[in-house]
Amino acid sequence: MVTTESIRLRSYLFNYPVNRPRRLRSNVLIRNMVAETMLRPDDFVMPIFVREDINEPEPIKSLPGQYRWPLNDKILNFVDQLINSGIKSVILFGIPEHKDEWGSSAYDEHGIIQRTIRFLKDSFEDKLIVMADVCLCEYTDHGHCGIVKRLSDGKYVVDNDSTIELYAKTAVTYAESGVDVVAPSGMMDGQVKAIREALDRAGFSDVIIMAYSAKYASSFYGPFREAAASAPKFGDRRSYQMDPRNAHEALKEVVMDINEGADIVMVKPAMLFLDVIRLVKQNFPEIPLAAYQVSGEYAMLKAAIMNGWLDEKKAILESLIAIRRAGADLIITYFAKDVVAYLDEIERLF
């Protein structure tokens, strides 16, 4: 990777009129020849919401073009379309019928995600990588990502160590259902260690962990929380998700997750944290890095596109190229389905 230092040392080489950078931009073939950043269908992960108590797909208002899927042939057709268009991987989010204080539907072996994993794996076998988000916020009635302990005087804490045991339990039931990748997103300390140990103990040492390592307390998750009905009923997530003012703290989270057994680490959101993506990739080039273009980033682009203020294909591709260029190896994005269909147009559009 080019460092500031190496640019400075070589800067005497670049002088007009000997150098004319425009030579390498003069036509589309030349531009393609020297292009540094590529996007492949294999780089993308498509998020899918599955809802327990419906029979028809339900459009999500806050995410135009996205749906909550029922667990029937409708989701199978949808995933079949994804695979035919070149998508290799999906990440599942569940919307259960039953929510309680402990998020018990998350680790129910007949839960919505466990059944969806079996359904997709039975139908598509090795044609599809099935990932599942591991968290409690969609399953708890209070909407927090873990067990809430009430303190006196109306205060509360989200209890770390009892929560990670439930994440571990959830991950094992996903593994028993045939999941390929579990993705802990709750930002509890030690969550990767708890999950790795539990998976190994249960004989699932081959199940991959993709850790949401640097997940920020972002207002850009708003549309997702509407989609998954997972907004906290009181308080917020700032005592567990990272402070957007901190970049270097991401390295601490990433180091801890790697030491605890993460195979892939993640930065989230993506477009607003390109500097963090770059920082993590430069420091840990040997670890595959995922970035999540989150619901608010999708909604923001989509709204401008729907108003005719941005060019659809160019704006979406540019946003994804930016995430790749910053250093992400894989990108989780609600645009995945659409974008794989016109990836080859990059060579014409840029």
Query: Any idea which residues carry the catalytic annotation?
Result: 215, 268
Measured on CA atoms in the order 20, 317, 286, 126, is the torsion positive or negative?
negative
- Nearest approach in angstroms of CB 12 to ligand PBG is 46
Residue 295 labelled as part of a binding site: yes
How far are the Cα atoms of 71, 221, 290 from residue 270, in angstroms, in the given order? 30, 12, 9
Give the footprint of ligand PBG on residues 276-295 (CB under 6 A).
294-295
C-beta of residue 289 within 8 angstroms of C-beta of residue 249:
no
Give the pairing of strands 67-69 and 44-51: parallel
* Burial track 114-132 (b if 16+ CB lie within 10 A, e otherwise): bbbbbbbbeebeeebbbbb
Position 137 contacts ligand PBG (CB under 6 A): yes
Q: How far is the CB of 278 from ligand PBG (least distance, A)?
A: 21
Contact pattern for ligand PBG over residues 176 through 195, marking x by CB under 6 A: ---------xx---------
- Identify the three-state secondary structure at position 264: strand
Dihedral (Cα; 231, 236, 242, 243), 10-degree rounding: 120
- In this structure, the number of other CB atoms found within 10 A of the CB of residue 304 comes to 14
Supply the minimum distance, in Å, between the C-beta of residue 145 and ligand PBG.
Answer: 5
Q: Does 224 contact ligand PBG by CB under 6 A?
A: yes
CB 28 → ligand PBG: shortest distance, Å?
Answer: 34
Q: Are 134 and 186 in contact (CB under 8 A)?
A: yes
Q: For ligand PBG, give the closer residue by CB, 225 or 313.
A: 225
Shortest distance in whole angstroms from residue 225 CB to ligand PBG: 6
Asked if residues 315 and 290 have their Cβ atoms less than 8 Å apart, the reply is no
Closer to ligand PBG at the Cβ: 137 or 340? 137
225 binds ligand PBG (CB under 6 A): yes
Q: Interface with ligand PBG by CB under 6 A: which range of 66-74, 99-107, 131-139, 335-343?
A: 131-139
137 carries a ligand binding annotation: yes
Contacting ligand PBG (CB under 6 A), which of 79, 145, 195, 262?
145
Are the beta carbons of 132 and 179 closer than 8 angstroms?
A: yes
CA angle 183, 189, 195 (to 5 degrees): 45
Q: Is 218 annotated in some ligand binding site?
A: no
Nearer to ligand PBG, 183 or 199 (CB): 183
Considering only 135, 266, 277, 316, the residue that binds ligand PBG (CB under 6 A) is: 135
Q: Is 52 in the site for ligand PBG (CB under 6 A)?
A: no
Indicate whether 270 belongs to the interface with ligand PBG (CB under 6 A). Answer: no
Region of 73 on the Ramachandran plot (φ > 0 left; ψ -120 to 50 alpha; else beta)? alpha
**Is residue 20 part of an annotated ligand binding site?**
no
- Sequence-distant (6+) residues with CB within 8 A of 223 are 60, 62, 63, 295, 296, 298, 299
Counting contacts by CB under 6 A, is residue 90 touching ligand PBG? no
CA angle 149, 150, 155 (to 5 degrees): 120
Q: Are 301 and 269 in contact (CB under 8 A)?
A: no
| Residue selected from 221, 240, 273, 335 as contacting ligand PBG according to rule CB under 6 A | 221
170 binds ligand PBG (CB under 6 A): no
Strand partners, 216: 242
133 binds ligand PBG (CB under 6 A): yes
Binding residues for 5-aminolevulinate: 225, 237, 295, 334
Binding residues: 135, 137, 145, 225, 237, 253, 295, 334
Binding site for ligand PBG (CB under 6 A): 133, 135, 137, 145, 185-186, 221, 224-225, 294-295
